[in-house]
């Protein structure tokens, strides 16, 4: 009858119908029971030597004892008794790194050759484990705590030229009460990046909670302790700036910040999965994509709730937050140095160099930088400010910081054919025609850049009008032109003579039997101008 147990309500109804002398067919039809089950219960009732009416007066406990007695206790298995005494130790071993159920069973079967095989051993061990796993349901106050942590998996930036991939970390923050979350990609997990990201998070939330909790990361905690952790100076400064209390989890207890742990998993599914095939060249582009997806995530409705995370946060949490300070916290590094002859100073772990006005070479200076800007001071006067760059071993140089000869040299290296053509057009049409011929005279235009720069230097010395006249003079004689020809015309003042004569040079037939027409004449003219 153990396999045919019925509810107490149905049992009492069946006894009523039997007391009313209803047939087995009608009872089975009314109660949707099989004849075998009804007959079994009827036989049990008759064996008590009590009337059905008397049985109906019995309490539920007595009816259960009569009609549904407990199953007989199986014969004790000595293997089970032995294993029960070992399960506590096995559970402790299972929590150690690298230990598996298979490993424990192999050790067990060696010590107890007649013991359970693997399947039964695993069942008893996992049942014992489940019976001793407890979870505490945290109840969070709105607007009180912000949990934060770095995601374990990284995202990547791809260099547009070399296609080299650079890993970046993702900082996650969440208000446990509403589930309203924020994420930002950072170059690394150093102090400056951590506190920059936390400041960005508070600016995103638009307020300050009572406490910020994270794990025992070395950027946050100087000395771990369950009761009196020692925080780093940067943590103390950041918390003082925002008037917030720092908090940490117990060592090795990630469940103390279960909300942020759960959000990191959602981050992988909602953001990492969606951008898995996308390529990002800069951190700003990656973060813009993350922000868009985070807005979508926060605005989605929560199951079993009518509100989204965004609505719940703005209605119940944000009004309870403290106001933000006027200026965000900036974690700054400082460096004292003497301005070198290169008038640049390298800063940051990326060793990127920034320019200083060249007038301060050999003077004492101080660099102060954060995640966004680099400032340089001489005698407490700021002499330079730059946008922070994270290009390793790169250079950021402002034109006004360079001496004139360095600036001219750099600009000469930055020339290209289009820039040279535009410069020539500012002088005149003949000069432009001459410059185009010089550029076309070589297989690669870059080989003619210095010659063109030489022509422009002549313009600085002799004036643009004479350059235009000299180019026109030469082009009236030949379609081949170079820097030396223009220089010789200017030195010999041939451009002035032609202008005074008001006409072209008269052709003179040379007394030479080897002269062969106009082509040979052109070569002779080129030779004369090149001397």
Distances (CA, A) of 213 to 160, 176, 217, 268: 38, 11, 11, 21
- The pLDDT, as a whole number, for residue 227 is 65
pLDDT of 4 reads 67
DSSP structure string for 386-411: EE----TT-EE--GGGS-HHHHHHHH
Contacts of 507 (CB under 8 A, 6+ apart): 521
**120 CB neighbour count, 10 Å cutoff:** 14
Q: What is the pLDDT of residue 332?
A: 79
CA distance 207 to 325: 9
pLDDT for the residue numbered 256 = 67
> What is the phi/psi pair of residue 346, to 5°?
-85, 135
Taking only Cα atoms into account, the Rg of the chain, rounded to an integer number of angstroms, comes to 45
Quick check: 335 and 312 in contact, CB under 8 A?
no
CA distance 186 to 168: 6
Distance set, CA 408 to CA 177, 292, 453, 459 (Å): 61, 45, 11, 15
pLDDT given for residue 505 in this prediction: 41
- The first and second tokens of residue 344, run together, are 């640049």
Q: For Cα atoms 33, 34, 37, give the angle at the middle one, nearest 5 degrees.
A: 95
DSSP 8-state code for residue 117: -
Q: Is residue 86 within a helix (H) or strand (E), and if so which, with residue range?
A: helix 78-94
Instruction: Identify the pLDDT of residue 76.
Output: 67
Compute the half-sphere exposure of residue 456: CA atoms within 13 Å on the CB side of its CA. Answer: 19
| Cα-based distances in Å from 231 to 195, 234, 241, 260 | 14, 8, 15, 21
Inter-CA distances, 489 with 423, 437, 475, Å: 21, 17, 12
* pLDDT for the residue numbered 504: 46
User: Across the 531 residues of the chain, what is the mean pLDDT of every consecutive 10-residue run?
Assistant: 72 89 89 89 88 88 86 76 90 87 92 92 90 69 89 89 89 90 90 89 92 87 76 86 87 74 88 90 92 90 76 90 87 85 87 91 89 88 89 86 77 70 88 88 73 87 89 86 89 77 44 51 53 54
3-class secondary-structure state, position 445: helix
Inter-CA distances, 35 with 13, 25, 45, 171, 334, Å: 15, 7, 15, 67, 91
Fill in the DSSP letter of residue 322. B
Q: Which DSSP string corresponds to 231-249?
A: EPHHHHHHHHHHT-EEEEP
Q: Give residue 173's pLDDT.
A: 92
Q: What pLDDT, on a 0 to 100 scale, did the predictor assign at position 503?
A: 44
Taking residue 169's Cβ as centre, other Cβ atoms within 10 Å add up to: 20
Nearest to residue 268, comparing CAs of 293, 300, 245? 293
- For residue 525, what pLDDT is reported? 52
DSSP tag of 441: T
Please name the residues in contact with 484: beta carbons below 8 A apart, sequence gap of 6 or more.
Answer: 529, 530
pLDDT value for 445? 64
Q: Are 452 and 427 in contact (CB under 8 A)?
A: no
């Amino acid at each position: 009858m153990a396999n045919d147990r019925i509810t107490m309500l149905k049992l009492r109804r069946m006894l009523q119908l039997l007391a009313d002398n209803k047939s087995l067919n009608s009872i089975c039809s009314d109660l949707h029971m099989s004849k075998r089950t009804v007959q079994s219960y009827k036989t049990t009732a008759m064996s008590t030597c009590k009337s059905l009416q008397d049985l109906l007066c019995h309490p539920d406990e007595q009816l259960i004892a009569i009609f549904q007695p407990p199953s007989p206790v199986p014969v004790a298995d000595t293997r089970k008794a032995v294993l029960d005494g070992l399960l506590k130790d096995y559970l402790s071993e299972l929590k150690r790194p690298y230990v598996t159920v298979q490993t424990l069973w192999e050790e067990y079967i060696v010590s107890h050759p007649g013991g359970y095989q693997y399947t039964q051993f695993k069942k008893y061990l996992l049942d014992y484990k489940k019976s001793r796993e407890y979870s505490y349901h945290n109840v969070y106050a709105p607007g009180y705590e912000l949990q934060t942590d770095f995601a374990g998996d990284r995202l990547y930036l791809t260099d547009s030229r070399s296609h080299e991939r650079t890993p970046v970390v993702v900082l996650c923050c969440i208000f446990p009460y509403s589930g309203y979350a924020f994420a930002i990609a950072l170059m690394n997990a150093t102090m400056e990046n951590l506190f920059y990201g936390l400041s960005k998070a508070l600016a995103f939330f638009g307020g300050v909670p009572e406490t910020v909790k994270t794990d025992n990361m070395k950027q946050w905690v100087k000395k771990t302790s369950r009761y009196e952790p020692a925080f780093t100076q940067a943590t103390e400064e950041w918390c003082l700036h925002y008037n917030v209390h720092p908090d940490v989890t117990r060592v090795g207890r990630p469940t103390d910040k279960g909300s942020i742990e759960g959000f990191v998993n959602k981050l992988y599914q909602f953001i990492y999965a969606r951008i898995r095939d996308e390529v990002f060249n800069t951190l700003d582009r990656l973060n813009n994509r993350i922000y868009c997806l985070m807005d979508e995530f926060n605005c989605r409705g929560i199951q079993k709730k009518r509100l989204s995370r965004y609505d719940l946060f703005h209605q119940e949490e944000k009004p309870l937050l403290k106001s933000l300070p006027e200026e965000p916290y900036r974690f700054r590094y400082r460096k004292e140095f003497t301005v070198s002859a290169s008038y640049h100073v390298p800063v940051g772990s990326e060793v990127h160099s920034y320019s200083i006005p060249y007038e301060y070479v050999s003077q004492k200076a101080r660099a102060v930088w954060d995640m966004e800007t680099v400032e340089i001071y001489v005698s407490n006067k700021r002499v330079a400010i730059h946008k922070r760059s994270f290009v390793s071993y790169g250079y950021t140089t402002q034109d006004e910081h360079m001496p004139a000869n360095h600036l001219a040299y750099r600009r000469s290296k930055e020339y290209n054919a289009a820039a040279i053509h535009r410069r020539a057009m500012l002088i005149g049409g003949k000069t432009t025609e001459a410059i185009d011929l010089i550029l076309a005279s070589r297989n690669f235009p870059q080989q003619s850049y210095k010659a063109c720069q030489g022509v422009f230097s002549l313009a600085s010395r002799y004036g643009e009008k004479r350059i235009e006249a000299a180019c026109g003079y030469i082009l009236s004689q030949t379609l081949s032109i170079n820097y030396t020809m223009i220089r010789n015309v200017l030195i010999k003042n041939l451009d002035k003579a032609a202008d005074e004569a008001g006409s072209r040079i008269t052709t003179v037939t040379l007394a030479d039997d080897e002269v062969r027409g106009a082509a040979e004449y052109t070569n002779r003219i080129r030779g004369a101008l090149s001397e």
